[in-house]
Amino acid sequence: MFYVYCLHLLWLIPISWIGCFMVRKKSFEERFLHIAKWCKRCFHLLHIKLDVEMEDALPSDGSILFVSNHQSFFDLFMLEIGIHVPFTFVSKAENKKIPYLSSLSKNLELIYFDREDQGSAVHMLRETTRRLKAGQNILIFPEGTRSKGTVMKQMQAGSIQPAFMAKCYIVPVVLCDSFDYKRLLKQHGTFHMHIGKAIPFEAYKPLKVDGMIKQLQEQMQGELDAFHQK
């Protein structure tokens, strides 16, 4: 049944690819909004919804490092739809080889890195820091891989180092149930997402990197636990 639903999206691929080509020279914000629009169309076509719970409005006086858990391919759609400020992703290098996704990634200016290459990881951290300092919002998956269930994998402390270097906001994002996408698609259900309060540099600076990643891990796992206990 899942593959039947995927077939429903096939006709969107060439159309959205053409759209990406048409907006490739526009501003980053326009390109982001274009891709977010197509993500919404995909959800509409699949008869699924997204419920977003926000603790507070996102800050507009500085860049943001969004820190999110990672459960499935549908995370990308959820994040594009649910976060209403332009941002790009940090992504593993393997995704660059996927033909259709590579077109989208160029428009979103993704930051790629090879997890097996130390030099690539260092470049990713420097590039992420540079862009945050320049005012661009960035989302990273500190687990490094998908956690296909209700328990998050251990988040890597180094992933939030750019926030300390750029002195930007950190915003935790919790994707609650995208690992269960097959059931949600079958039932035309609703995905759920929680966006936490923005944490300014002054608040997390004393914790240092290790302390902050521990706090984020506990906070985000707590949100997951609370959701699944409802």
Report the CATH number at residue 175.
3.40.1130
Residue-wise pLDDT for 126-167, tens only, equals 999 999 999 999 999 999 889 988 999 999 999 999 999 999
Total structural domains in the chain? Answer: 1
Q: What is the pLDDT of residue 94?
A: 73
> Is the pLDDT higher at 129 or at 186?
129
Complete DSSP assignment for 12-70: HHHHHHHHHHHTTTS-HHHHHHHHHHHHHHHHHHTT-EEEEEESSPPPSSS-EEEEE--
Mean pLDDT of all residues in 163-186: 96
CA distance 178 to 195: 15
Q: Which domain holds residue 21?
A: 2-228
Paired tokens of 209: 């990197």
Q: What is the pLDDT of residue 213?
A: 98
Residue-wise pLDDT for 28-64, tens only, equals 899 899 889 888 988 988 889 999 999 999 999 999 9
Mention every residue, 6+ apart, whose C-beta is less than 8 A from residue 105: 91, 95, 96, 112
Other CB atoms within 10 Å distance of the CB of residue 168 = 25
Q: Is the pLDDT reported for residue 221 higher than 70?
A: yes
Mention every residue, 6+ apart, whose C-beta is less than 8 A from residue 156: 142, 143, 144, 213
Label residue 107 by pLDDT band (50, 70, 90).
confident
DSSP 143: T
Paired tokens of 228: 């699944």
Residue appearing with tokens 């259900």: 189
CA distance 51 to 169: 24
Mean pLDDT of all residues in 97-119: 78
